[in-house]
Amino acid sequence: MTARWGGKNLARSQKTGVSIATWNAAVYRWFPGLPAPAVLLHPDGPSVTYHDLNVEVRGPVDAPPLLLLHGWGSNAKNMIPLAKALSSYRTHAIDLPGHGASPPPPEPWGIPEHATLLHAYVENEIQGPVTIIGHSNGGRIALHMASTADFADVIERLVLISPSGVQPERSLGYRVRSGFATALKAPVQALPSPLREPAMDWLRHSLVWRLLGSSDYNTLSGVMRETFVKTVNHHLNGDLRRIQVPTLLFWGTADEAVSRRQMNVIEESIDDCGLVELDGAGHYGHLDDFEAVLSATRHFLENG
108-159 pLDDT tens trace:
999 999 999 999 999 999 999 999 999 999 999 999 999 999 999 999 999 9
DSSP states of 110-167: -HHHHHHHHHHHIIIII-S-EEEEEETHHHHHHHHHHTSHHHHTTEEEEEEES---SP
- How much is the average pLDDT of 173-178? 48
pLDDT of residue 9: 36
pLDDT for residue 303 = 87
Instruction: Tell me how long the chain is.
Output: 304
The mean per-residue pLDDT over the stretch 2-30 comes to 40
Q: Name the residue with higher pLDDT: 190 or 101.
A: 101
Whether the Cβ atoms of residue 56 and residue 112 lie closer than 8 Å to each other: no
Identify the weakest region by mean pLDDT among 62-66, 67-71, 77-81, 236-240. 236-240
Domains and CATH numbers, the chain: 7-167+237-303 (3.40.50.1820), 172-232 (no CATH)
Q: Grade residue 20 by pLDDT with cuts at 50, 70 and 90.
A: very low
**pTM summary value:** 0.73
Q: Are 240 and 266 in contact (CB under 8 A)?
A: yes
Which residue type sits at 4?
R
CA distance 271 to 243: 8
pLDDT(239) > 50: yes
Asked if residue 5 has pLDDT above 50, the reply is: no
Q: Out of 171-175, 250-254, 259-263, pick the least confident.
A: 171-175
